[in-house]
Structure 1
Amino acid sequence: MARYEIHGHAIVSDDDCIANADGSMPDALRNEADWRRFQGELDRAVLNVLGRYGHYRFPNVAGRRRLIVSSQADGVEQRADGWWWNPGMASLGEALRKAAPEGGLIAVPGGRRVNDLFLSLGFDAFHLSRKRGVRLPGGVPVFTRAWAMGSAERLLASHGLHPTDPVVLDEAERVSVTVWMR
């Protein structure tokens, strides 16, 4: 039986947001060192899982294998632009067996709703990058319950994940990453 390791990825503001209120990622949250690391992690994965909106917003120019989470899919189906999965009609196991039968690293670059789904299904690791000094009032939090829990870190800890030591990616722009492991 194939084995999978599921890793989530996000860069967040001081107030745990991944996007502005309109769903767009502001330039203030972007960072070249984090972007290079993130792209490397996506390249290492056998499958990238993201929501339908993210799939349409970010064309798959790198040609990575994708699993698109959408209620508009009929279970698990292969389309010209990737594998599509409706979690209400098929299990994660079924989706992974079809989209990545060889097993391996699964990268979840998210979207809030996809992050919420995988938080409940169980991340093996979550790579939480943080850019200090950026706030996005009224923005989209990395997880729906991040604010209710007080922070993304507290929410991850409440789901059995433990932090590694943070790694500074860009000292000048105050960007670091902490990998939360099961």
Structure 2
Amino acid sequence: MSRYQIHGHAIISDNDCIAGEDGLTPESLRNEADWARFQAELDRAALVVVGRIGHEVNENTRGRPRMIVSSRANGIEKRDDGWWWNPGRASLGEALRLAAPQGGLIAVPGGRRVNDLFLSLGFDAFHLARKKGVTIPNGTPAFTRAWAAGSVERLLAGHGLHAGAPIDLDPAAGVTLTIWAR
């Protein structure tokens, strides 16, 4: 799959969460500088991979090529709203060859289960933004095993990714970005 670069994306709280108990991103975690950078990364992607719930909650208003990870798909299916992929019935390589035959950047903005899946399949890079001073009680961690590992950063390191230099995206809001890469 060398013709593909798989990049994960998340903004997390101090307690490593991407969402509240309801599964939605709270306003306290949102940041305009991070959002602009994130949207530019999605614009560069040959394909954006999201989970079914994220797909249902976040309309594809920009019409980006999208692949939805769902057990409700029969392998790989082309539907009106994008490519649907069931990893239990088709490999990632098969899915990418159909959904992005030209190769290129594959952006994975998650949810937790999609992050877990691609952590096991192997991210080439993970763009980790952290908003300091925000804690999400009973929140959804970016990865299922983030807390067991001690932090998202430790989990990424344990999967062979190495931290680049942190970038201050919005110093006033306490938002930093670290790109973890192989």
- Place the TM-score, normalised by the shorter chain, in its bin: over 0.9
Cross-structure match for 1:117? 117
**Alignment deviations for residues 25-50 of structure 1 (CA, whole Å, 9 cap, x no partner):** 11000000000000000000000000
2:117 & 2:171 partners in 1: Cα distance?
Answer: 32
1:104 & 1:165 partners in 2: Cα distance?
Answer: 24
Cross-structure match for 2:49? 49
TM-score for both structures, normalised by structure 1: 0.99
1:146 & 1:117 partners in 2: Cα distance?
Answer: 14
Residue 87 (1) aligns with residue 80 (2): no
How far off its partner does 1:24 sit? 1.1
How far off its partner does 1:137 sit? 1.3
Letter in 1 for 2:141: P
Letter in 1 for 2:12: V
Superposition RMSD in Å? 0.8
Name the % identity.
70
TM-score for both structures, normalised by structure 2: 0.99
Aligned length: 182
Letter in 2 for 1:150: G
1:110 & 1:85 partners in 2: Cα distance?
Answer: 14
Runs of 4+ residues over 2 Å off in structure 1: none
Question: Structure 2 stretches of 5 or more lacking a match?
Answer: none
C-alpha contact 1:14 1:135 (8 A) present in aligned 2: yes
Cross-structure match for 1:139? 139
Letter in 2 for 1:152: V
Question: Structure 1 stretches of 5 or more lacking a match?
Answer: none
How far off its partner does 1:79 sit? 0.1
How far off its partner does 1:91 sit? 0.1
Residue 28 (1) aligns with residue 28 (2): yes
Partner SS, residue 169 of structure 2: strand
How far off its partner does 1:2 sit? 7.0
